[in-house]
Amino acid sequence: MTTPTIELKPSSNPLSDAEREASMVNPGFGRHFTDHMVTIKWTEGRGWHDAQLVPYAPLSIDPANMTLHYAQEIFEGLKAYRQPDGSVATFRPEANAKRFQGSARRLAMPELPVETFIAACDALVKQDEAWVPAHGGEESLYLRPFMIATEVGLGVRPSNEYLFLVIASPAGAYFPGGVKPVSIWLSENRVRAVPGGLGDAKTGGNYAASLLAQAEAAEKGCDQVAYLDAVEHKWVEELGGMNLYFVYGNKIVTPTLTGSLLAGVTRDSLLKVARDLGYESEEGRVSIDQWREDTANGTLTEVFACGTAAVITPVGTVKSEGGEWTQGDGAPGEVTMKLRERLLDIQRGVAEDTHGWMHPL
Ligand code: COI
CATH number assigned to the domain comprising residue 210: 3.20.10.10
- Do 186 and 288 touch, CB atoms closer than 8 A? yes
CA 178 vs CA 26, 175, 328: distances in Å: 11, 6, 19
Tell me the CA–centroid distance for residue 221 and ligand 1, in Å: 22
CA 151 vs CA 65, 74, 109, 156: distances in Å: 6, 16, 12, 11
Closest residue CA from atom 7 of ligand 1: 241
pLDDT in the model for residue 1: 57
The residue among 171, 204, 220 that closes a domain is: 171
Q: Give the pLDDT of the chain (361 residues) as one tens digit per residue.
A: 567 899 999 888 889 999 998 888 888 889 999 999 999 999 999 999 999 999 999 999 999 999 999 999 999 999 999 999 999 999 999 999 999 999 999 999 999 999 999 999 999 999 999 999 999 888 999 999 999 999 999 999 999 999 999 999 999 878 776 678 999 999 988 999 999 999 999 999 999 999 999 999 999 999 999 999 999 999 999 998 899 999 999 999 999 999 999 999 999 999 999 999 999 999 999 999 999 999 999 999 999 999 998 899 999 999 998 889 999 888 999 999 999 999 999 999 999 999 999 999 9
Question: What's the predicted TM-score (pTM) here?
Answer: 0.96
In this structure, the chain runs to a length of: 361
CB atoms within 10 A of CB 357: 20
Write out the residue range of the structural domain in which residue 298 sits: 182-348
Tell me the CA–centroid distance for residue 358 and ligand 1, in Å: 19
Write the single-letter amino acid at 38. V
- The DSSP line for 225-273 is EEEE-TTTS-BEEEESS-EEEEEETTEEEEE---SSS---HHHHHHHHH
> How far apart are alpha carbons 83 and 90 in whole angstroms?
10
77 CA closest ligand 1 atom index: 3
Is the shortest distance between the CB of 308 and ligand 1 below 6 Å?
yes
Task: Assess if residue 216 is contained within a domain.
Answer: yes
CA 280 vs CA 220, 275, 306: distances in Å: 34, 6, 17
Is the shortest distance between the CB of 307 and ligand 1 below 6 Å?
yes
Instruction: Looking at the structure, tell me whether residues 251 and 318 fall in a common domain.
Output: yes
Instruction: Looking at the structure, tell me whether residues 87 and 221 fall in a common domain.
Output: no
> How far apart are alpha carbons 91 and 308 in whole angstroms?
10
Pocket test for ligand 1, best of 242, 244, 265, 312 (most atoms within 8 A of CB): 242
Task: Assess if residue 226 is contained within a domain.
Answer: yes
Instruction: Looking at the structure, tell me whether residues 159 and 247 fall in a common domain.
Output: no
Tell me the CA–centroid distance for residue 77 and ligand 1, in Å: 6
Residue 97's Cβ-side half-sphere holds a number of Cα atoms within 13 Å equal to 17
Task: Assess if residue 66 is contained within a domain.
Answer: yes
308-331 per-residue burial string, b: 16 or more CB within 10 A, e: under 16 = bbbbbbbbbbbbbeeeeeebbeee
CA 96 vs CA 143, 243, 286: distances in Å: 11, 15, 26
Instruction: Looking at the structure, tell me whether residues 44 and 76 fall in a common domain.
Output: yes
Is the shortest distance between the CB of 264 and ligand 1 below 6 Å?
no
> How far apart are alpha carbons 245 and 255 in whole angstroms?
7
Instruction: Looking at the structure, tell me whether residues 144 and 187 fall in a common domain.
Output: no
What is the sign, positive or negative, of the torsion defined by CA atoms of 278, 254, 183, 327?
negative
- Do 263 and 99 touch, CB atoms closer than 8 A? yes
Instruction: Looking at the structure, tell me whether residues 57 and 150 fall in a common domain.
Output: yes
| DSSP code at position 298 | T
List, in sequence order, the alpha helices (H) in the chain.
Answer: 17-23, 66-70, 93-106, 114-127, 204-219, 265-276, 288-296, 334-347
CATH for 143: 3.30.470.10
Question: Rounded to 5 degrees, what angle do the CA atoms 295, 296, 300 make?
Answer: 25
Instruction: Looking at the structure, tell me whether residues 147 and 198 fall in a common domain.
Output: no
The residue among 142, 171, 200 that closes a domain is: 171
Closest residue CA from atom 6 of ligand 1: 241
Instruction: Looking at the structure, tell me whether residues 207 and 91 fall in a common domain.
Output: no
Tell me the CA–centroid distance for residue 311 and ligand 1, in Å: 10
Instruction: Looking at the structure, tell me whether residues 254 and 343 fall in a common domain.
Output: yes
Task: Assess if residue 358 is contained within a domain.
Answer: no
78 CA closest ligand 1 atom index: 3
Is the shortest distance between the CB of 77 and ligand 1 below 6 Å?
yes
Is the shortest distance between the CB of 269 and ligand 1 below 6 Å?
no
> How far apart are alpha carbons 342 and 335 in whole angstroms?
11
Task: Assess if residue 353 is contained within a domain.
Answer: no
Task: Assess if residue 361 is contained within a domain.
Answer: no
Closest residue CA from atom 9 of ligand 1: 309
Contacts of residue 358, Cβ cutoff 8 Å, sequence gap at least 6:
89, 90, 91, 346, 347, 349
Q: How far does CA 20 lie from the centroid of its chain?
A: 24
The torsion of the CA quartet 319, 324, 329, 330, rounded to 10 degrees, works out to 20
Instruction: Looking at the structure, tell me whether residues 43 and 121 fall in a common domain.
Output: yes
Task: Assess if residue 354 is contained within a domain.
Answer: no
- Do 255 and 308 touch, CB atoms closer than 8 A? no
The residue among 171, 192, 212 that closes a domain is: 171
Is the shortest distance between the CB of 169 and ligand 1 below 6 Å?
no
Instruction: Looking at the structure, tell me whether residues 205 and 340 fall in a common domain.
Output: yes
Is the shortest distance between the CB of 145 and ligand 1 below 6 Å?
no
Tell me the CA–centroid distance for residue 141 and ligand 1, in Å: 13
Structurally, how many domains does the chain consist of? 2
Tell me the CA–centroid distance for residue 309 and ligand 1, in Å: 5
Instruction: Looking at the structure, tell me whether residues 329 and 301 fall in a common domain.
Output: yes
Task: Assess if residue 306 is contained within a domain.
Answer: yes
